[in-house]
């Protein structure tokens, strides 16, 4: 558990912290006022877990925070996409958004977004990222829960989290507090040699992170994203050595999640080496949606 001084280091100035509260949505809620110190203590004591901040309460004193706990949240269908990098998780998440309205939620992108926007959670995570340390699981889970509250009324497709069984257990427990759950877990199976070949041809668009592949999903115009017209680039960590390291982590550690979700009758295995449209049909069938 973090101590308050550790939390204080990411608290920065009061004015800067207020910027983190300008991301609320209108929901029926119960409101109460707590001090900034109390808010930080709650954040530290709960490993990053918190209630959702509402907004800055002008006229109530410059040391007050408003917090809310939403009620009657709409419950969507929450999907976890498991697969090694190169298995096609990002592509399938985009297609699920187009076909059934599920919002893609990549944990790495979510973390970078919170840090860039200087939200309360982003400010809490930034020191860990700057030191090269792992961000506490509680902070990542809260980012995911906030994403569901703000943009996932129809449900989300979660990519990149959880990676371990303790993370999966924490996510399940916190979703239950929102009367939500993980409904289905899709594992995109692909052998190591296929993954290595795919990753060597992967390109990302600079504007919105759309994923293309010169072998399996080439853009219409080389080097240009079909979706938004921005430039495509290869990630700096898509080198043979770094790719091999990431695959080692997946096949030695993340793969253990399959037993966890299979025991809960939530796992569907899909052959990720098939053409993209065939994989999509299999994923939709697992969700009991007509292609």
Q: What is the pLDDT of residues 212-270, one digit of tens each?
A: 998 888 999 999 999 999 999 988 777 788 888 889 999 999 999 999 999 999 999 99
Please give the pLDDT value at position 158: 95
> Among residues 49, 68, 149, 163, which one is catalytic?
163
pLDDT class for 48, splitting at 50, 70, 90? low
Same domain, residue pair 166 and 200: yes
Question: What number is the average pLDDT over the span 54-81?
Answer: 44
Of 19-23, 73-77, 98-102, 108-112, minimum mean pLDDT range? 19-23
DSSP 168-229: HHHHHHHHHHTT----EEEEEE--HHHHHHHHHTEEEETTT--EEETTTB--SSTTB-TTT-
> Among residues 68, 103, 198, 202, which one is catalytic?
202
Please give the pLDDT value at position 1: 36
Secondary structure (3-state) at 4: helix
Same domain, residue pair 9 and 95: no
Number of structural domains, the chain? 2
Q: Pick the residue with more confidence: 64 or 188?
A: 188
Secondary structure (3-state) at 271: strand
Is 235 considered catalytic here?
A: yes
Is 9 considered catalytic here?
A: no
Whether residue 137 is contained in a domain is answered as no
- Confirm if 53 and 87 have CB atoms less than 8 A apart: no
Please give the pLDDT value at position 221: 95
Whether residue 113 is contained in a domain is answered as no
Q: What is the mean pLDDT of the chain?
A: 77
Is 246 considered catalytic here?
A: yes
Question: Is the model's pTM score more than 0.75?
Answer: no
pLDDT class for 76, splitting at 50, 70, 90? confident
Residues 6+ apart with CB under 8 A from 100: 154, 284, 287, 289
| Percent of the chain's residues with pLDDT above 70 | 73
- Preceding peptide of 162 cis, ω within 30°: yes
Is 206 considered catalytic here?
A: no
Distance (Å, whole) CA 204 – CA 275:
20
> Among residues 151, 235, 242, 256, which one is catalytic?
235
Same domain, residue pair 98 and 62: no
Residues 6+ apart with CB under 8 A from 18: 56
> Among residues 49, 89, 126, 217, which one is catalytic?
89
Distance (Å, whole) CA 186 – CA 60:
48
Whether residue 95 is contained in a domain is answered as yes
Q: Pick the residue with more confidence: 134 or 279?
A: 279
**Residue ranges of the alpha helices (H) in the chain?**
4-11, 14-19, 36-45, 89-100, 107-117, 120-131, 137-151, 165-177, 192-200, 240-252, 257-263, 276-286
Same domain, residue pair 62 and 88: no
Please give the pLDDT value at position 52: 38
pLDDT of 82 above 60: yes
Same domain, residue pair 39 and 65: yes
pLDDT class for 33, splitting at 50, 70, 90? very low
- Whole domain around residue 270: which residue ranges? 79-102+152-286
Element (H, E) at 156: strand 156-159
């Amino acid at each position: 558990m973090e101590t308050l001084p550790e939390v204080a280091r990411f608290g920065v100035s009061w004015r800067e912290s207020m910027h983190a509260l300008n991301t609320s949505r209108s929901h029926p809620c119960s409101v109460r006022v707590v001090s900034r110190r109390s808010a930080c203590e709650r954040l530290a004591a709960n490993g990053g877990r918190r209630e959702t901040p509402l907004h800055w309460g002008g006229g109530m004193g410059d040391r007050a925070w408003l917090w809310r706990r939403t009620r009657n949240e709409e419950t969507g269908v929450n999907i976890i996409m498991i697969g090694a990098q190169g298995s096609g998780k990002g592509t399938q998440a985009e297609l699920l958004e187009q076909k059934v309205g599920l919002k893609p939620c990549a944990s790495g992108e979510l973390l970078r977004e919170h840090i860039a926007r200087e939200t309360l959670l982003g400010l809490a995570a930034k020191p860990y990222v700057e030191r090269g340390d792992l961000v506490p699981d509680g902070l990542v889970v809260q980012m995911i829960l906030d994403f569901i509250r703000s943009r996932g009324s129809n449900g989300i497709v979660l990519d990149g989290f959880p990676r371990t069984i303790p993370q999966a257990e924490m996510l399940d427990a916190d979703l239950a507090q929102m009367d939500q759950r993980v409904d289905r877990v899709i594992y995109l199976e692909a052998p190591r040699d296929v993954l290595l070949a795919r990753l060597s041809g992967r390109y990302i668009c600079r504007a919105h992170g759309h994923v293309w592949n010169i072998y399996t999903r080439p853009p219409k115009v080389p080097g240009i994203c079909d979706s938004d017209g921005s430039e495509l680039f290869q990630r700096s960590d898509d080198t043979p050595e770094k790719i091999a390291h990431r695959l080692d982590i997946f096949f030695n550690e993340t793969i253990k999640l399959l037993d966890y979700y299979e025991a809960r009758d939530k796992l569907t295995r899909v052959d990720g080496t098939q053409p993209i449209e065939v994989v999509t049909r299999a994923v939709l069938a697992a969700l009991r949606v007509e292609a």
